Structure 1
Amino acid sequence: MNKEDRRYAAYVQILREELVPAMGCTEPIAIAYAGAKAREVLGNLPDRVDIGVSDNIVKNVKSVVVPNTNGMKGIEASVVSGIVAGRAEKILEVISEVSEKQKEDMKKFKKDVPVNVSVLDNEIVFDIIVILYYRDESVKVRISDYHTNIVYVEKNGEVLVDLENADQETVKDECLEENGLMDKRLLNVKDIIDFADSCEIDDVRKVLDMQIYYNTQISEEGILGDYGANIGSTYFRYYGNDVRNRAIAKAAAGSDARMSGCELPVIINSGSGNQGITVSIPVIEYAKELSVSKETLYRALVISNLIAVHLKTGIGRLSAYCGAVSAGCAAGCGIAYLQGGGYDEIAHTLVNSLAIVSGIICDGAKPSCAGKIASSVEAGIVGYHMYKNGQEFKSGDGIVTKGVEATIKNVGRLGREGMRQTDKEIVKMMLEGKAECL
């Protein structure tokens, strides 16, 4: 791909937008970010807090430990952490620097200050509204569409930021270009491979070096520590230490740690740390095994990251479709590239793996995400090995249809439209008798 091609600049920008650091599960951190921003505008610790969130935010916040809070969970804990200790300028690392005193202050604030949580009844999948009160003053901050997208800020009735009405269709339909971000509809598998083959490494080196370093750290921590259900270390104990198992186990281990409050940052993909870990660690492990050059690893990570983003574009940031599936299948594509694969190998790997694991549900962020990651990475590897063995799932086999892009479109339709009611039922199940999770 020629550097003057508009797609070249777009693909570089997509990587820079999507591969950013975050500490902790990104939905609780988005709440913390909203809380920190609101407190910054208010200028004081509030004496009352109201927070409204969409169903999918509830689903992805209730069961994960918020880092740097001494083990607190839930929506209330997330917003309190941002209000008391957050630094809004650090965005998704908003609570990465918290003192022991601030942790105690969080506990006291949570006990002494009323925090009223409600579920927003609208059609926006990703929506957070935080309102802080101090005496006769108030501040309202709203984040919609994606984790850092502040669309509205109001103080004492004066509107400071208003992007809510700028493009309502963007907010309600994430298949369209997201407000303020590069249009991901420019992505397709053929062009992604062309870009990976031809891009100047210096244009992608910085974000990929951070991904390699951060995500390897949390993966190793997940193996060494005692986190969640210890899916990663279970794989090592029972299934051996070959490269295939290392790729699966280490990706799962990163999620083990992250879902259970590990205070190490990750480089995310498509708004998710789990997806960022899943799309990178298996490729890194195979690169070590194959002794490929650092440049080849970079190019394989470009493949896996951009294919994961491409898959998620039609599904949306949050849905009932597990994002680990997209990331694990994309990792299989990166692994195929490391072994000399071109368009045919990568396209067949992707279709084969999607046929195996599409439909795994997302029932929120929690320890079992690591198990879903393990299954998805395994499917990505099997999808590649099927192709090498002369096997494939063919058009008409379920949702598989002719051509990789058409199959990707079907997967997007499944995740976004077909599983919409599933999403609602999942949230209902999670909330029945579980009001304390808020």
Structure 2
Amino acid sequence: MIRGIFFDNVKLSYGCTEPVAVGLSVAVGKDYLKGELRKIEIVMDRNTYKNGLEVGIPGTHMHGFEIAALLAYLVGRSDFGLEVFKDVTSDMVSKAYELKDIVSVKHESDVRLHIRTLLYGDNEVLVEITDSHDHVSKVVVDGQEIFNTQSSVNFKKDVVKGITLNEIFEYVENPDNDVLEVVREAIEHNLQISSIGLETEGNFGKVIDGVPGFVAAGVDQRMNGALLPVMTVAGSGNQGISCVVPVKLIADKINASQEKIEKAVLMSILVTIYVKAYTGTLTPICGAGSIASAGATSGITYLYGGDIEQIKSAINNLLATLFGMTCDGAKRSCALKASIGTQMAINASKLALSNTNIPCGNGFTAKDVEETIRRIEILTNSLKRFDEDVIDFIGHC
């Protein structure tokens, strides 16, 4: 079961996953479109809209769903999945910009991830993506339904919620080989973008010390539109960077074995997926700054030889401190939130390793970390008005 959860939630992507999902819907629609493209109409849920407004599109110095949609039409392929932008070139960027007026983008108050894309040529093609960024759930051509697999998000969330942290810890000690292969790939890609970020003039990570600066560098590079692959975790590349990179860097610092590194990074990934199942894929809570950092602190504590109870305490310490850091869309300042989360992940681990746990009843913190996580689900739902209001401010000085 945990192997399946891992592969459902760990995937390679070029660029922020919200514009990528829009791009994928267009690439799928292109497979069914006849004649010359005349118009694209896109309607999406408010959280997808929020996350895609100000984030850089891979291979460009621009942002906006319009450019994302047209680049996917020009160079994307449906079989690329979340890698739909990997063939972007400067020539195609210029061409996409010239065509941007044929794309219209709107949002609605749907609380789940839901994108409806209509392409008009000599026929009309509707493509819907629901629940996860690469789940194409419906295709309709000239009113005729080609397929419909409406879905599964609640089922998949319930599967994740059906496991326990103890089961995650047990799996980490005896993981499947194909899972570890992906863990190694995640380390390679997510470290690479962070390293490149640190060499890029103006990158936020260059002025932040230590491990937090390294994490910030990768997130900033990604948010700025770098055409580089990142291993996403629970639907987010920023979460992927934030839960993989700090664990690997600290492992290197203490000369951990390769086996210990891979298991610690796997721990971090699985804990991130677990907590994210309670907050939801797209939420008013910052995934990189608070959720992935809960994963990172579990991996760091594992590296230092912490036992199960200390790992749970580290997660509890982290969530009790950083839950409430809001998500006001994907953009460069996500790097700074990720750096804060990384520093707290280190501190939460130190506290746990000294057998210090934030006491039960301090705020929403419970004695049992899994009860703390369940309370976070309730609190996340209470913050949904934030998502409605913050859209009015994004992009407006």
Give the counterpart of 1:142 among 128, 153, 162.
128
Pairs within 5 Å for 1:96-115: 96-111=86-101, 114-115=102-103
SS of the residue corresponding to residue 366 of structure 1 reads coil
Distance in 1 (CA, whole Å) between partners of 2:181 and 2:36 is 37
Give the counterpart of 1:354 among 319, 334, 351.
319
SS of the residue corresponding to residue 139 of structure 1 reads strand
Give the match for residue 313 of structure 1.
277
CA RMSD of aligned residues (A): 1.7
Distance in 1 (CA, whole Å) between partners of 2:333 and 2:26 is 28
Please tell me whether the aligned partners of residues 251 and 374 of structure 1 are also in contact (alpha carbons under 8 angstroms). Answer: yes
Please tell me whether the aligned partners of residues 177 and 185 of structure 1 are also in contact (alpha carbons under 8 angstroms). Answer: no
Unaligned runs of 5+ in 2: none
Pairs within 5 Å for 1:53-132: 53-68=44-59, 70-111=60-101, 114-121=102-109, 123-132=110-119
Stretches of 4+ aligned residues off by more than 3 angstroms:
none
SS of the residue corresponding to residue 280 of structure 1 reads helix
In structure 2, what residue type is equivalent to 1:317? T
Give the match for residue 213 of structure 2.
249
Q: TM-score, normalised by structure 2?
A: 0.95
Q: How many residues align?
A: 396
Does residue 155 of structure 1 match 2:133?
A: no
Does residue 177 of structure 1 match 2:155?
A: yes
Q: Deviations over 1:349-387 (max 9, x none)?
A: 000111111100000000110111011111111111112
Distance in 1 (CA, whole Å) between partners of 2:35 and 2:79 is 17
How far did residue 234 of structure 1 move?
1.0
Residues 44 and 65 (structure 1), Cα distance of their counterparts in 2 relative to 1, 3 Å cut: farther
Does residue 197 of structure 1 match 2:173?
A: yes
Q: Deviations over 1:78-127 (max 9, x none)?
A: 1111112211111111010124432232122225xx22222124x34211
Give the match for residue 199 of structure 2.
224
How far did residue 44 of structure 1 move?
4.1
Give the counterpart of 1:233 among 181, 191, 206.
206
Does residue 430 of structure 1 match 2:384?
A: no
In structure 2, what residue type is equivalent to 1:192? I
Distance in 2 (CA, whole Å) between partners of 1:398 and 1:60 is 29
- Of residues 44-53 and 279-288 in structure 1, the stretch that sits farther from structure 2 once superposed is 44-53
Pairs within 5 Å for 1:315-334: 315-324=279-288, 325-334=290-299
Give the counterpart of 2:303 among 338, 356, 359.
338
How far did residue 151 of structure 1 move?
1.1
Distance in 2 (CA, whole Å) between partners of 1:382 and 1:44 is 58
Residues 425 and 99 (structure 1), Cα distance of their counterparts in 2 relative to 1, 3 Å cut: closer
SS of the residue corresponding to residue 128 of structure 1 reads strand
Unaligned runs of 5+ in 1: 1-9, 237-244
Give the match for residue 391 of structure 1.
356
- Of residues 275-284 and 386-395 in structure 1, the stretch that sits farther from structure 2 once superposed is 386-395
